[in-house]
Amino acid sequence: MDPVTHSLLGATLAYARCGRQLGRTAALVGGLTALSPDADVFIRSAADPLIAIVHHRGFTHSLLFAPVGAAIVAALWLFRPTWRDRSRWLALWRCGLLAYFSHCLLDAATSYGTQLFWPLTNHRFGWDWISVIDPFVTVTLLVGLVFALIRPHRRPALIAASIALGYIALGAVQHARGVAALRDIAASRGHVLERHEVMPTLANNIIWRTLYVHDGQIWSDRLRLGWFSSTTVREGWSLPSIRLEDLTAQEQARNQRRSFERFAWFSDHWVARSPVDASILADMRYSLSTEAFDPIWGIRFTPPSDPTEIVWLNRTRDRKIDPGELWTEIIGRDPRFRPVDSEPHTADSSPNRGSFVHIAQQPGPAHVAGVDPLDPEPGIRNQRRRVAIEMTSTRQPLPDRGEPPLQESHVALRREPVLDEQQPARRLQDAPHVGQRQFRIGNRTERPGQHDGVKAGGIQRHPLRRCLRDGDWQQSAGRCVAGHRSEPGRGLQPDDFGDRGTVQGQIFP
């Protein structure tokens, strides 16, 4: 959790518990003691970058170390003679101990991982109940503490602490809902949850990021868990997880200090190669992107001549959140979310199947993150724009399902909307397809076709080539150009050419 919230929670709890006996000193000692566990950030080594992440939230965050940590902070008051009285100092220590416990438990309520019972175990507890930054908790504690110190009275502090703890308890309920929804999502895909994690996104407990492993693949989705509405999902991506035996020979040779094992332990074994750079072994729990795997941090093995075994890569400063997009998701107006369905999806029963059709109607090919962009040939004279279309079933991860449905780039396209959003079918149908029409090609999406595939037709360009080659511009292609420019939505018609074009080709992803 962020240091400000830690300090406010420690001060609020300390004042609510010990304010009558210690006065405002209770808030001061509580705030300072609640900050002290994070002193482990100063543990680091230039020769081994993993020392810092291995020891952060380590022994200083252990509940067993809390009495010692609280005593160290309380000892600062011994420099004043008035606090050397044994009973007063013990009251100060108990006040600090409560604040120290609050830090350890609040960190464990996040997803990062905290060694609560070091040295008995090095297990990193992460309950995924609250985000590492949540303004609701921070502002609530700040307001309550300020009112309590101004009055002065403990009641505002008690109310603020109760609201904050109730909000964290609500996060635990939301987490349980998310786990149940994730099981339904996996069941709808015919998957078995080998491991899973459901984490709140930044600054709220409505939008959650989910991860699970099935057959060596890490699957990620995005859930909306409305307080008073049903659960919806925005389906994401998958990529293969990485284990020790999956390292390259060069990486295994450099793994002398067990760097991979330590990093895998730190990331709770959510390790995969970065889609951006395969040399980076990244923690997939956190992503810069809401749509794909774009890891925030990871490690890369160095060449044998380098004195350090690995380099630590941290892109935390590159993390940018679009408040407008997040708010749209929170209030439930993002059309990419759909209801969670626990029924397995097959070719014959897919009540909510849909397709994404990606279109670029500006110069240049379409681009979808994680997919090699289409690059059609430059258009001929009757093409005012280069248009690339890509279609994929939403039930399959990109890029395996992505295929260009038009075989020929020298075809005028109807400039009509394809899919503004994912649309559920009105009856049991297969995946939508690009319609195949006689004597012309349009890019309007039709209702589902057969074999869960994409059907498309392409007009043979041989007649067009022949008319250009034979110089019959005025009689043939000229009419096509004039008609196309005057009617932007008009496709190629059969009488635009000397002989009729034939419709051919079916493409199945």
Q: Which tens digits make up the pLDDT trace of 265-278?
A: 999 999 999 998 99
* DSSP letter, residue 377: P
Residue with token string 């090919």: 365
How far apart CA 469 and CA 24 sit, in angstroms, is 92
Structure tokens at 447: 């209702």
Q: By three-state DSSP, how is residue 460 classified?
A: coil
Q: Give the type of residue at 445.
A: T
pLDDT of residue 255: 96
Residue 247 banded pLDDT, cuts 50, 70, 90 = very high
472 versus 259: the higher-pLDDT residue is 259
pLDDT of residue 188: 94
Residue 319 banded pLDDT, cuts 50, 70, 90 = confident
pLDDT tens, 397-446?
Answer: 444 444 444 333 333 333 334 444 444 444 333 334 333 333 333 443 44
Q: Find the mean pLDDT for residues 217-241.
A: 95
pLDDT of residue 351: 36
pLDDT over threshold 50, residue 192: yes
Nearest to 99 by CA among 79, 70, 72, 125: 70
| Burial per residue of 333-372, b for 16 or more beta-carbon CB atoms within 10 angstroms, e otherwise | ebebbbebbeeebeeeebebbbbbbbbbeeeebbebebbe
How far apart CA 173 and CA 167 sit, in angstroms, is 10
Residue 321 banded pLDDT, cuts 50, 70, 90 = confident
379 versus 259: the higher-pLDDT residue is 259
Give Cα 309 distance to the centre of its chain.
Answer: 29
Residue 151 banded pLDDT, cuts 50, 70, 90 = confident
pLDDT of residue 189: 94
pLDDT over threshold 90, residue 166: yes
Give Cα 363 distance to the centre of its chain.
Answer: 31
pLDDT of residue 338: 95
Residue 226 banded pLDDT, cuts 50, 70, 90 = very high
Q: Give the type of residue at 488.
A: P
How far apart CA 82 and CA 415 sit, in angstroms, is 82
Domain-wise residue ranges, the chain: 3-127, 173-323, 348-509
For residue 176, how many other CB atoms are within 10 A of its CB? 13
How far apart CA 465 and CA 270 sit, in angstroms, is 54
pLDDT of residue 60: 97
Q: Give the type of residue at 166.
A: G
Distant-in-sequence, close-in-space partners of 7: CB < 8 Å, separation ≥ 6: 31, 32, 34, 35
Structure tokens at 342: 């626990």
pLDDT of residue 345: 58
Question: Contact 500/439 with Cβ under 8 angstroms?
Answer: yes
Question: Contact 173/200 with Cβ under 8 angstroms?
Answer: no
pLDDT of residue 317: 86
How far apart CA 55 and CA 44 sit, in angstroms, is 8
Q: Find the mean pLDDT for residues 386-405.
A: 41
pLDDT tens, 450-473?
Answer: 444 444 343 333 433 333 334 443
477 versus 292: the higher-pLDDT residue is 292
388 versus 178: the higher-pLDDT residue is 178
Q: Give the type of residue at 498.
A: G
Residue 493 banded pLDDT, cuts 50, 70, 90 = low
Phi/psi at 260 (nearest 5 deg)? -65, -45
Nearest to 4 by CA among 96, 150, 139: 139
Question: Contact 298/283 with Cβ under 8 angstroms?
Answer: yes
What is this structure's pTM?
Answer: 0.69
| Summary mean pLDDT of the chain | 77
How far apart CA 96 and CA 73 sit, in angstroms, is 8
Q: Find the mean pLDDT for residues 366-392.
A: 38
Nearest to 434 by CA among 488, 487, 377, 506: 506
Radius of gyration of the chain measured on its C-alpha atoms: 30
Nearest to 193 by CA among 174, 178, 171: 178
Residue 447 banded pLDDT, cuts 50, 70, 90 = very low
pLDDT tens, 121-147?
Answer: 999 999 999 999 999 999 999 999 999
Residue with token string 């606090």: 83
| Burial per residue of 409-440, b for 16 or more beta-carbon CB atoms within 10 angstroms, e otherwise | bbbbbbbeebbeebbebeeebbbbbbbbeebb
pLDDT tens, 10-43?
Answer: 999 999 999 999 999 999 999 999 999 999 999 9
For CA atoms 87, 90, 92, 94, give the dihedral sign: negative
pLDDT tens, 326-371?
Answer: 999 999 999 999 999 867 655 444 333 333 333 333 333 333 344 4
pLDDT of residue 10: 97
Residue with token string 């332990």: 265
